[in-house]
Chains A and B, each alone.
Chain A
Amino acid sequence: EAAVTQSPRNKVTVTGGNVTLSCRQTNSHNYMYWYRQDTGHGLRLIHYSYGAGNLQIGDVPDGYKATRTTQEDFFLLLELASPSQTSLYFCASRRDREYEQYFGPGTRLTVL
């Protein structure tokens, strides 16, 4: 079964702070995704990538940067965190030409 890990699992920062969320998958999947989950909105796509060095803009990209350094690692960067970015963040991965996305356990971010 596909394994997707995220770190940290919980993070508290202040407004204006700098935050990096990490995601690693160990199944050589091509595609990786970052979502945020908020009550009433479901899961919304922030950024995604189909390989090392590639980045695609999702549906809610404002205030977020992302970088895919290797096939395994995908990072989400919040350079000036705001309270509106308080959320539960999920990473997911998918093999090319397959439908199923495999999700990590999530990172809960609180911006005070």
Chain B
Amino acid sequence: GDSVTQTEGQVALSEEDFLTIHCNYSASGYPTLFWYVQYPGEGPQLLFRASRDKEKGSSRGFEATYDKGTTSFHLRKASVQESDSAVYYCALSDRGNNKLTFGQGTVLSVIP
């Protein structure tokens, strides 16, 4: 079945540091890829998505590029802020877009 792997379980950075969270997927066909963010006490919310090879998704300074060759969708931000502290989930949708498969999540802590 489909699967998503996030390499980092926890990431701790200082403000203005560069962020990378690695996401690799395994799926049949051509899934749509997503990054969701979850702030404390809330449900996840969509950050952005990408549907085609080499497409870049972006929002709020975060970005990721769909790479079908390496089956990856790594999240990056050039300069993190304390307000970016949250849990980040990589996810993919099945062919019919009926359901999402999520990665394990990465807890980002940004120290001021």
* Complex: A44 Cα to B3 Cα, angstroms: 11
Interface residues of B in 29-83 (CB under 8 A from A): 32, 34, 41-46, 49
- Are A42 and B89 in touch, CB under 8 angstroms? yes
B-chain residues with CB within 8 Å of residue A101 when the two chains form the complex: 46, 100
- Are B98 and A48 in touch, CB under 8 angstroms? yes
Give the A-B contact count at a CB cut-off of 8 A. Answer: 52
* Complex: A103 Cα to B42 Cα, angstroms: 8
A-chain residues with CB within 8 Å of residue B102 when the two chains form the complex: 42-44
- Are B43 and A99 in touch, CB under 8 angstroms? no
Total count of chain A residues near the partner, CB < 8 A: 24
State whether A31 and B43 are in contact (beta carbons under 8 Å apart), knowing that A42-B105, A99-B32, A99-B93 are contacts in the complex.
no
Chain B proximity mask over A56-75: 1 for CB below 8 Å, otherwise 0: 10110000000000000000
A-chain residues with CB within 8 Å of residue B44 when the two chains form the complex: 43, 90, 103
A-chain residues with CB within 8 Å of residue B28 when the two chains form the complex: none
* Complex: A101 Cα to B42 Cα, angstroms: 14
Decide yes or no whether A78 CB sits under 8 A from chain B: no
* Complex: A104 Cα to B104 Cα, angstroms: 19
Chain A proximity mask over B91-111: 1 for CB below 8 Å, otherwise 0: 001000111111111000000
B-chain residues with CB within 8 Å of residue A109 when the two chains form the complex: none
A-chain residues with CB within 8 Å of residue B100 when the two chains form the complex: 43, 45, 101
B-chain residues with CB within 8 Å of residue A90 when the two chains form the complex: 43-44
Which of B9, B34, B101 is A99 in contact with, Cβ under 8 Å? B34
